[in-house]
Amino acid sequence: MAKILMPLGDATEVLDTMYAFFRFQEEDWEVVVAGPEARLYHMVLHEIPPRADPPWDITQESPGYHIEATIAFRDVKPEEYAALFVSGGRAPEYLRYDQDLLAITRHFFETGKPVAALCHGIEILTAADCVRNRRVTTVAKCAADAWQGGAEYLDQPLVEDENLVTARTWHDNAPLLKAFVKNIHAWLESA
């Protein structure tokens, strides 16, 4: 059974995470949730409130569900995993400083294994120096993270660049997961 690694932390976005979490299970793949520690994490909902008065310029954050990380980043053996899925929310803002997670992330790029990231997930890929000379998309407010990491930012629902697929927000989950699942199947067939 293929194992898919899903790193996250407190304030991971619910729809970024859970759509993929269950989609991978539909393929009979094992989803392994990792965090700074093996423990329960708080997820959040991010949305620009419709018809708010006064209007919001950025997303409003609300409490969401919880998810259990069964392994700490320091204990992950990345060679045991077929793919890496990096969700968004605010979690990547602090996870990008975790050196164990950055080493894990680099492993997937060095080996050419499938990687997917959406929304703020780009912050982890940039911190690991894995998007240089790549084409990516992300939520518009993280475009500077892509540029600072040496990537070409494209404002479109999905960008595919070799082993990497990126999307803007949870609104783009369907095309992101369709492309990513296809990449994982191709990787598994070639391995």
CATH number for position 102:
3.40.50.880
pLDDT at 147: 97
| Angle 57-95-83 from CA coordinates, rounded to 5° | 105
Active-site positions?
Answer: 120
pLDDT of residue 72: 98
Residues 108-161 have pLDDT tens digits of: 999 999 999 999 999 999 999 999 999 999 999 999 999 999 999 999 999 999
Mean pLDDT of 55-75: 92
Domain enclosing residue 61, as ranges: 3-190
User: pTM for the full model?
Assistant: 0.96
Q: Provide the domain count of the chain.
A: 1
Cβ(128)–Cβ(106) below 8 Å: yes
Residue 23 CB contacts under 8 Å (≥ 6 apart), including other chains = 177, 181
Q: What is the mean pLDDT of the chain?
A: 96
